[in-house]
Structure 1
Amino acid sequence: MTVNKPIHKTLYHSFGRKQWSELRNSVPLTLSEDELARLQGMNEQLSLDEVTDIYLPLSRLLNLIIDAQQQRSVVLDQFLNHKPRNSPYIISISGSVAVGKSTTARILQALLQRWPQHPKVELVTTDGFLYPLAELKAKNLLKRKGFPESYDMKMLIDFISAIKAGQPHVNAPLYSHITYDRLTDQVQPINQPDILIIEGLNVLQTGLDQSPESRSSFLSDYVDFSIYVDADEVLLKEWYQQRFRKFRQGAFSDPKSFFHHYSNLSDQQANQTAANIWDTINGPNLQSNIKPSRERAHLILKKGDNHLVNRVLLRK
């Protein structure tokens, strides 16, 4: 297994859990236990303490940053004699498969939309921008699903640029984890939100990852604040195997599931299958594409055992 490259901590302010939690500054917790349960990922036992200690200070930081940017935009529009644009603040959340990006995104959405300055917060995942299953098969990319080349980047850039320009009624494609494919009969309408959170594996990549002759716009060009959810690979692989076993008992048991053939695996077979998928697909994608983009993030949430964040790094 590849050894994880240490973070260049000189680039970041580093906070232990207690230090970070003290930056909450008495922001009230507005989520109940029932609401939190609905926001949790399949494999995370997220507590209200985690939300209070980690996510409330983060929501306070983001609220302060967004407020400052909004004031700057007003001043700039006045100076240039421009009409104000309905341009949302865009937050990206990146990290490995099984690290808990989706839960982080849902919790931030729930917390940020409770601030009166920006009540309309939308969440989009990049899964919907994967090429359709038939196209992935035709391009021989099925075993590269989740790698940068498996996404319809033109579609993604057209979407994010329309959102950033403040266009109304922009549709995001939706993805089914049952059929393992983009939905053809449903879309997610996005209508000029105050904040857009976009979550995905490769959202921190930039033009630096491309050859000079092929460089073009990239998602990260439109992002105002980026978050990377981090954990050691040994934990990520373990969490992926745990999630695979739960999917085997849940989503995989649906006859319509693309992975229905995994539903009858024993625990040992499920562990071996998940380990093989990790070693041949998710692990290589992490090391080649996802992990190298980590230090482009404005903030890193470092997780330890039980999915608990034990360190927060904020770019200086």
Structure 2
Amino acid sequence: MRPKNLFLCLRFQTISSRLFFEKRFYGIQKSSADEEEFDKLNIMPRMFVKGDREPLAKREALRPQLTPRYNRMPVDQDWNSVWPTAKMFNPSAVPLPVHMGKLKTVSGPKPPPGKFANPELMKVPNFLHLAPPAIKKHCDAIRKFCTPWPQALTDEMCDKYFPLEVITSDYCHASPTIREPKARIITIRIKLSSLDLDYHAKDKLKRILQHRYDPKTDLITIVADKCPLKSQNIDYAKYLLTACFFEAWKTESWESEKEQSDWETFFWEKSPSKASLINYFKKTFQNFNEENFLEKDTVKDYSKSVKNLFDKEENDELLEDYRKNVEKLLFDERL
């Protein structure tokens, strides 16, 4: 067969196959009334015609209905695999009756809406990925990178060698910015007894600090929030503590002019009570030694009872203690 005839034969077969396909799938039908008219063309194939399918309600009824996921969750499931990271609230994955929001109606307030179709639960960030089992799993994963706390380092040793305590706060939430204004606020705490101060410096430091010193716990607390950064506030709080420390050691000229009425507490060593007691025993005993006399326990108890009468509110117990110490002091033969 010549090549030209072969080409015509293949072209005829291709056109015939195409017409057969169109008649079968696109429904080309000839009119019985008049064969000379154009064939009728159905745009939708017969297999996709609406009348050939079953109703949707019937198909839905035949489809098996699955139990909701939150009802199929076992009690001992691995919650970390259900909620591994932070994400938006999904009611079908939370097997808890969560309620949030407030409904106002004409008849009065109603109970908060449930978890389904509740936009309030989707607005706020949740911490379902930080459940106790998930936190324990994370801690176990990083435990190999940590070292145990030294057993010999007790709380007393920490207070001795690390007296300054710095308290900071970090915030984690879902928002357009990671900056939290409250994260800049810091607090430093230190015990007054850990500072190298004499009585005058301690008393002056208490007056400078005012409400920042707690006499019950002996703690100095300084809160700083003036600077925009956390590190800047830490440096600023340390500077304030250092400035107060050196200011407390200064002695002004007018401080030596304080009289007994200006004392913040009663000083028995500077009081007329001590001078009168020494003069009395000097006149009573010829070989009187003042240094040995002041070291006796009877004299120390007497000085404490006098100090308590001035510093504390007077009551029968203090008066009885003062009477007993005076009797011991006057009638003790060892003096």
Give the TM-score, by structure 1 length.
Answer: 0.18
TM-score of the aligned structures, taking structure 2 as reference length: 0.17
Higher Cα radius of gyration: 2
Higher strand share: 1
